[in-house]
Each structure stands twice: as structure tokens, then as C-alpha cells.
Amino acid sequence: MEFDKETQEKIKEMQMYEQNLNNLLMQKQVFQMELIEAENALSELGKANDEVYKIFGNIMIKSNNKKIQEELEKRKDLVNLRLKSIEKQENTLTQQAEELRNEVLKKIK
């Protein structure tokens, strides 16, 4: 089936939206995993005594439980902020892709 040039361009644009959405979803999964790791670490810190260790590169460093909890809370807040940003971008791209898809479908019919 042959499409006019405008429709072909819209189809290409729609494919770019889909690719961008897939990239965002991969980023979102990475941040969700980071969030889960931070939450699990905080949970374990709650069970630990005051003497804990932190892995830094290839070495393990003795640290303070409260200090590590603060670092993890900050990390968790940052990851949540990034997740919200990604979700906004995801919603915008999804809406734009849907509008474009509807335009293409109208032209095809």
C-alpha cells in the first residue's frame, strides 16, 4: 500500500515516538531498580547495629549507620524525582504518539 509523502513522514515520526518511549521505559526500569535497592538497604540498616560497612569502589569502609541512612534517603529522593520526570515525559510522548496515530489512521481510511 502506497502512502503520500505527508503520511509517510507522520509514520516515521510515530516510529521515533515509539523508540523514545522504549528508551524512557528502560531508564524508568533502571531507576525503579535503584529505588528498590535503596529501600532494601534502608530496611537492612534498620536491623543493623551502629557499626556498618559501605562498599566504595573495590574497598569496604566502616561507616556510621545514621550517615548511611541519610545518604540512602537522599538517593531515594533523587531517584523518585527522576522517576516523576520520566513519567511526565512518558505521558507527553504517549499522548503525542496517540494523536499522531489517530491522524495517520484517518488518512489511511
CATH value at residue 21: 1.10.287.370
Return the sign of the alpha-carbon dihedral for residues 87, 91, 96, 98.
Answer: positive
Give 69-81 pLDDT, tens digit per residue: 999 999 999 999 9
Q: Which domain holds residue 60?
A: 5-98
- Give how many domains the chain has, as a whole number: 1
What is the end-to-end Cα distance of the chain in Å, rounded? 12
* Residue 36 within any structural domain of the chain: yes
- The pTM (predicted TM-score) of the whole model is 0.82
Helix, strand or coil, per DSSP, at residue 61:
strand
* Residue 103 within any structural domain of the chain: no
Amino acid symbol at 48: A
Look at residue 100 in the predicted model and tell me its pLDDT.
93
Task: Quote the CA–CA distance of 1 and 55 in Å, as a whole number.
Answer: 59
* Residue 109 within any structural domain of the chain: no
